[in-house]
Amino acid sequence: MINKVAVLLVVLLFIIAALASDPDPVMGFCIAKSPDNSFSCKNSSTATVEDFTYSGIKSPGNFKQTGFSSMAVNSNVFPGLNTLGVSFVRADFGVGGVNVPHFHPRATEVAFVLEGKIYSGFVDTNNKVFAKVLEKGEVMVFPRGLVHFQMNVGDRPATILGSFDSQNPGLMRS
């Protein structure tokens, strides 16, 4: 009896894991016809290079009271990302700006410091903090579902480019 329960639990864990990730693509690309991805793909014979480029992050977005601005690039704003399992973010920080603790329930994030000096870190499931000051050209990874943060500790504005291994990483503020 215990063996049957153990096998059932293992099978259920595999099913849950499969449902908690982006599906594998069944074609080379699927440009969404609508921003909410609820309709079929655009006919691939009508695709153009414009379907695979996006210029909406050339400049910072609107800054919050925390001195932080972020511009998500996902399949809702860039339909060419649909079904590819990736997304992107541009994050800008004023001097002293903070990206408050948050996590992405469906994605690992890799953050690249484009400009400035950022104190960046995450907290693991044992409450151990992994943090350091990153400078221009350095990269940090934030494992899926772990709380992380960034703060500009430099004397000028800073910019981070982040990539996710999901077309919809989700965002939960702590």
User: Which parts are annotated binding residues for Mn(2+)?
Assistant: 102, 104, 109, 148
Binding residues: 99, 102, 104, 109, 148
Q: Which two tokens stand for residue 78?
A: 């860039």
Query: What is the Cα–Cα distance from 24 to 7, expressed in whole angstroms?
Result: 26
Query: What is the Cα–Cα distance from 32 to 123, expressed in whole angstroms?
Result: 36
Sheet holding 172-173, edge to edge: 129-135, 117-123, 148-152, 98-103, 172-173
Binding residues for oxalate: 99, 104, 109
Asked if 117 contacts 135 with a C-beta cutoff of 8 angstroms, the reply is yes
**For the chain, what is the radius of gyration of the CA atoms?**
19
- Those residues with Cβ within 8 angstroms of residue 32's Cβ, 6 or more apart along the chain or in another chain: 39, 41, 42, 75, 79, 82
